Protein backbone atom coordinates (compact mmCIF):
# COMPACT_ATOMS: atom_id res chain seq x y z
CA UNK A 1 0.00 0.00 0.00
CA UNK A 2 1.48 3.35 -0.97
CA UNK A 3 1.20 6.46 1.10
CA UNK A 4 0.13 9.50 -0.84
CA UNK A 5 1.66 12.79 0.04
CA UNK A 6 -1.01 15.25 1.11
CA UNK A 7 -0.48 18.81 0.05
CA UNK A 8 -1.18 21.47 2.59
CA UNK A 9 -3.64 24.12 1.52
CA UNK A 10 -4.70 27.27 3.30
CA UNK A 11 -8.25 25.98 3.63
CA UNK A 12 -10.23 26.56 6.78
CA UNK A 13 -10.95 23.35 8.63
CA UNK A 14 -13.50 24.65 11.10
CA UNK A 15 -17.21 25.02 10.49
CA UNK A 16 -16.73 27.10 7.37
CA UNK A 17 -15.47 25.79 4.08
CA UNK A 18 -13.52 28.82 2.93
CA UNK A 19 -9.90 29.64 2.80
CA UNK A 20 -7.63 32.27 4.25
CA UNK A 21 -8.03 36.05 4.22
CA UNK A 22 -5.92 36.55 1.09
CA UNK A 23 -8.05 34.10 -0.90
CA UNK A 24 -11.22 35.73 0.41
CA UNK A 25 -10.04 39.20 -0.56
CA UNK A 26 -8.79 37.95 -3.94
CA UNK A 27 -12.27 36.54 -4.60
CA UNK A 28 -13.79 39.95 -3.84
CA UNK A 29 -11.22 41.73 -6.02
CA UNK A 30 -12.02 39.47 -8.94
CA UNK A 31 -15.69 40.48 -8.68
CA UNK A 32 -15.27 44.19 -7.97
CA UNK A 33 -11.80 45.33 -9.09
CA UNK A 34 -12.69 49.03 -8.77
CA UNK A 35 -12.91 48.79 -4.97
CA UNK A 36 -10.40 47.82 -2.31
CA UNK A 37 -11.50 44.34 -1.28
CA UNK A 38 -10.89 44.76 2.45
CA UNK A 39 -12.80 48.06 2.50
CA UNK A 40 -15.68 46.55 0.54
CA UNK A 41 -15.86 43.57 2.90
CA UNK A 42 -15.73 45.85 5.93
CA UNK A 43 -18.49 48.10 4.51
CA UNK A 44 -20.80 45.17 3.80
CA UNK A 45 -20.06 43.45 7.11
CA UNK A 46 -20.64 46.74 8.93
CA UNK A 47 -24.07 47.14 7.32
CA UNK A 48 -24.90 43.47 7.92
CA UNK A 49 -23.97 43.82 11.57
CA UNK A 50 -26.48 46.65 11.80
CA UNK A 51 -29.18 44.61 10.10
CA UNK A 52 -28.69 41.18 11.71
CA UNK A 53 -29.17 40.32 15.36
CA UNK A 54 -26.06 40.17 17.53
CA UNK A 55 -26.41 36.41 17.86
CA UNK A 56 -26.49 36.02 14.08
CA UNK A 57 -23.44 38.23 13.65
CA UNK A 58 -21.62 36.06 16.20
CA UNK A 59 -22.83 32.88 14.46
CA UNK A 60 -21.65 34.12 11.06
CA UNK A 61 -18.32 35.14 12.55
CA UNK A 62 -17.79 31.60 13.84
CA UNK A 63 -18.30 30.22 10.33
CA UNK A 64 -15.35 32.19 9.00
CA UNK A 65 -11.68 31.34 9.15
CA UNK A 66 -9.88 33.14 11.98
CA UNK A 67 -8.13 35.65 9.74
CA UNK A 68 -11.35 36.50 7.85
CA UNK A 69 -13.23 37.00 11.15
CA UNK A 70 -11.26 40.19 11.72
CA UNK A 71 -13.24 41.80 8.91
CA UNK A 72 -16.49 41.13 10.77
CA UNK A 73 -15.59 42.98 13.95
CA UNK A 74 -18.26 45.53 13.26
CA UNK A 75 -17.71 48.95 11.89
CA UNK A 76 -15.40 51.07 13.98
CA UNK A 77 -17.87 53.94 13.63
CA UNK A 78 -20.61 51.96 15.34
CA UNK A 79 -18.84 50.06 18.10
CA UNK A 80 -20.68 50.39 21.34
CA UNK A 81 -23.89 51.54 19.69
CA UNK A 82 -27.01 49.42 19.52
CA UNK A 83 -27.67 48.10 16.02
CA UNK A 84 -30.22 49.95 13.94
CA UNK A 85 -32.82 48.18 11.86
CA UNK A 86 -31.84 49.78 8.60
CA UNK A 87 -34.30 49.94 5.75
CA UNK A 88 -33.14 49.32 2.20
CA UNK A 89 -32.13 52.90 1.43
CA UNK A 90 -30.27 53.33 4.72
CA UNK A 91 -28.48 50.00 4.26
CA UNK A 92 -27.33 50.89 0.74
CA UNK A 93 -26.37 54.39 1.84
CA UNK A 94 -24.32 53.01 4.74
CA UNK A 95 -22.31 50.81 2.37
CA UNK A 96 -21.94 53.63 -0.16
CA UNK A 97 -20.77 56.13 2.46
CA UNK A 98 -18.32 53.64 3.94
CA UNK A 99 -16.70 53.20 0.52
CA UNK A 100 -17.24 56.73 -0.78
CA UNK A 101 -19.09 55.02 -3.63
CA UNK A 102 -22.12 55.98 -5.65
CA UNK A 103 -25.28 54.41 -4.18
CA UNK A 104 -26.14 52.89 -7.56
CA UNK A 105 -22.95 50.76 -7.34
CA UNK A 106 -23.82 49.20 -3.98
CA UNK A 107 -25.59 46.15 -5.45
CA UNK A 108 -22.41 45.37 -7.38
CA UNK A 109 -20.36 45.65 -4.17
CA UNK A 110 -22.86 43.51 -2.24
CA UNK A 111 -22.80 40.86 -4.95
CA UNK A 112 -18.99 40.74 -4.95
CA UNK A 113 -18.69 40.42 -1.18
CA UNK A 114 -21.61 38.00 -0.91
CA UNK A 115 -20.11 35.81 -3.64
CA UNK A 116 -16.82 35.57 -1.75
CA UNK A 117 -18.67 35.03 1.53
CA UNK A 118 -20.56 32.08 0.06
CA UNK A 119 -17.22 30.38 -0.55
CA UNK A 120 -16.41 30.79 3.14
CA UNK A 121 -19.50 29.17 4.64
CA UNK A 122 -21.40 25.95 4.08
CA UNK A 123 -24.47 25.80 1.85
CA UNK A 124 -26.64 25.09 4.88
CA UNK A 125 -25.36 28.14 6.71
CA UNK A 126 -25.86 30.26 3.60
CA UNK A 127 -29.51 29.21 3.45
CA UNK A 128 -30.00 29.92 7.17
CA UNK A 129 -28.44 33.36 6.78
CA UNK A 130 -30.67 34.12 3.79
CA UNK A 131 -33.71 33.60 6.03
CA UNK A 132 -32.35 36.23 8.42
CA UNK A 133 -31.99 38.85 5.69
CA UNK A 134 -34.79 41.22 4.72
CA UNK A 135 -36.65 40.30 1.52
CA UNK A 136 -35.04 43.16 -0.40
CA UNK A 137 -31.57 41.72 0.29
CA UNK A 138 -32.35 38.03 -0.12
CA UNK A 139 -32.32 38.26 -3.93
CA UNK A 140 -28.80 39.65 -4.05
CA UNK A 141 -27.64 37.03 -1.52
CA UNK A 142 -29.25 34.19 -3.51
CA UNK A 143 -27.91 35.47 -6.86
CA UNK A 144 -24.38 35.53 -5.44
CA UNK A 145 -24.83 31.99 -4.09
CA UNK A 146 -26.03 30.67 -7.43
CA UNK A 147 -23.18 32.42 -9.25
CA UNK A 148 -25.59 34.52 -11.27
CA UNK A 149 -23.75 37.18 -13.24
CA UNK A 150 -23.02 40.22 -11.17
CA UNK A 151 -25.19 43.30 -11.66
CA UNK A 152 -23.91 46.21 -13.72
DSSP 38-72: HHHHHHHHHHHHHHS-HHHHHHHHHHS-HHHHGGG
Q: Could you give the 3-state DSSP secondary structure of residue 88?
A: helix
- Give the CATH architecture of domain 21-145: Orthogonal Bundle (1.10)
pLDDT in tens, the chain (152 residues): 444 443 333 444 444 556 788 989 999 999 999 999 999 999 999 899 888 888 888 888 888 888 888 887 766 555 566 667 788 999 999 999 999 999 889 999 999 999 999 888 888 888 899 999 999 999 999 888 776 555 54
Helix pair angle (106-118, 88-99), 10° resolution: 90
The whole-angstrom distance between residue 5's C-alpha and the CA centroid of its chain comes to 34
Angle between helix axes 135-145 and 88-99 (nearest 10 degrees) is: 60
Residue 101 near residue 42 (C-beta atoms within 8 A): no
Amino acid sequence: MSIQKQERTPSWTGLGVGTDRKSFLDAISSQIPDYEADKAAEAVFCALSERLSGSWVAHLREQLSPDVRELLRGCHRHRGEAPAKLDRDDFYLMVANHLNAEPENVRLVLHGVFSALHAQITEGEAKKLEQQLPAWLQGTWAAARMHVDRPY
